[in-house]
Amino acid sequence: MTTELLLHFDGLSGSTTFTDSSGNGHVFAQNAAHVGPCISTVNWQFGAASLRNNNNSYNNYIVETNSLMSFGTGDFTVECWINTITTSGVIIGQAQGTCFGMNVNNHKLQLSSGSSVSNSFTSTTSVDDGAWHAVCISRTSGVTYVFVDGNLEYHAADTTNYTNAAGPCILGQFWYGYIDELRVSNVGLYTTSYTPAVAPFPGVAATGVPDMNSFSNYLTNQMIDQVLRAQTPYAPASVYVALLVANEGVWVASTTYGAASYMTVLASDGLYHLYYSSAGGTGSGTPTFHGLPGESVTDGTITWVEQTYNLKANTAGAINEPTIGANGYARQGIVSGLTTWAGTQGAGTTTASTGTSGQTSNNSGITYPQPTGNWAAAPAVVWGVALYDASSAGNLIFWGPLTSPQSVTSASVPPSIPVSDLTFTLS
């Protein structure tokens, strides 16, 4: 499967950064000077945030200038979760030409082509009731299918050439409510009723690894011994990138968790952090997770403890990766050298470091093998990555979170990290 667009709509409340996790770099922004659509942590389906637009006027939407939904006569799938009281509004669509649009019209999910609504491609279920619904329009071999909550509600022949006359792609126009977990694929994924996803869609890439300035205790000791104590330089021939798993997935408010639960949550510093509860309990309300190393957070009857110190110490439990050698999982190696890691003067550079940023990043992409089983099945998610000096066991060097945790199963596209997406700083 090729994912053209993947918007998890995760982030801090009020943010207007809408990250595309497909690896294709699509950039959505608020329409000109008009405010309204933003990230909200009030209501969501996955990931503790969603897109909210509470100003359903003509000019209030988010927009991307590329023709990303010019499907032609080929196959496609457009799917997301919505929670709205909008009687009629645009979920996503191109703005000009014989273009594709997924809309709510007269209470129902509908497909539009250009400025006209195709009344035949309409759901039987109303979706403007203020509850979350999985909505999907998919075409396979010249037949288009309309789904609500996984139920096939209409299908018919459709050979429309969906093109776009250089118009932008718009999202959330005339919208009052929420949109979450939106994915556009250039293949037809569904032809019969199906069970909607119970976790965020896996991205084509484990993209957006924030700046990893989280040294392990081992690396700190090596640096002190080499620089100040004249010990043998530490220079592994290769480093190996491991995936880190949180067994209880992304934190969900007012949820019961068992003993020995690890979860990840988007903290107020804008990064995902790992938290642990030894006894478990039942959450209540929306406590504030600051992301401070070792902080203790009370969530109803649960006490969560932030795990930075245990991660730095490579402590089992906090450091939890899929079983090496099982279900196709293996750490991915990168040979150490000037050509494989950028110098501090900038991404992609291949000469000795001369910059002042203290930052390096991968000069080559990292692709994992196809999972043959579950690496992180819901509710578990891959939430971060770690660098080791061996393909198994070994010494932890760095670790850091992903911008969008995701489940990884045999049905997932193999995780990958594009060039320059794995960055870390010595500071």
Amino acid 181: pLDDT: 93
Q: Please state the φ and ψ torsions of residue 308, each to the nearest 5 degrees.
A: -55, -45
CA 318-322-326 angle, 5° bins? 155
Strand-pair category, 116-126 with 143-148: unpaired
Take residue 229 and report the two structure tokens written for it: 């104590």
Q: Binning pLDDT at 50, 70 and 90, where does residue 166 land?
A: low
Q: Binning pLDDT at 50, 70 and 90, where does residue 119 land?
A: low
pLDDT digits (tens, 9 = 90+) for 141-150: 999 999 999 9
Domain segments of the chain as ranges = 3-185, 209-245+320-425, 248-312
- Greater confidence (341 vs 26) lies with 341
Q: Binning pLDDT at 50, 70 and 90, where does residue 191 land?
A: very high
Strand-pair category, 209-212 with 422-425: parallel
- Just give the CATH number of 3-185: 2.60.120.200
pLDDT digits (tens, 9 = 90+) for 28-81: 888 765 567 888 888 988 877 899 987 666 667 788 876 677 888 999 999 999
Q: Binning pLDDT at 50, 70 and 90, where does residue 97 land?
A: low
pLDDT at 200 exceeding the cut of 80: no
Q: Binning pLDDT at 50, 70 and 90, where does residue 1 land?
A: very low
Nearest to 399, CA basis, from 277, 273, 237: 273
170 CB-near residues (< 8 Å, 6+ apart): 31, 61, 62, 63, 90, 92, 93, 94, 95
Amino acid 165: pLDDT: 58
Q: Binning pLDDT at 50, 70 and 90, where does residue 114 land?
A: low
The whole model's pTM is what?
Answer: 0.59
Rounded-to-integer distance, Cα 337 and Cα 342, Å:
9
Rounded-to-integer distance, Cα 158 and Cα 73, Å:
9
pLDDT at 194 exceeding the cut of 70: yes
Report which secondary-structure segment, H or E, holds 222: helix 217-228
- Cβ contact 400:251 at 8 Å: no
Continuous H helices in 298-378: 308-312
- Cβ contact 235:426 at 8 Å: no
Amino acid 201: pLDDT: 74
pLDDT digits (tens, 9 = 90+) for 280-313: 999 998 898 988 889 999 999 999 999 999 999 9
- Cβ contact 26:5 at 8 Å: yes
Take residue 208 and report the two structure tokens written for it: 């957006």
Average pLDDT, integer, range 324-341: 95
Amino acid 120: pLDDT: 67
Amino acid 323: pLDDT: 96
Amino acid 22: pLDDT: 76
- Greater confidence (412 vs 27) lies with 27
DSSP secondary structure string, 34-93? ----EEESSS-SSTT-EEEE---STT-SEEE-S-TT--BTS-EEEEEEEEE--SSEEEEE
DSSP 293: T
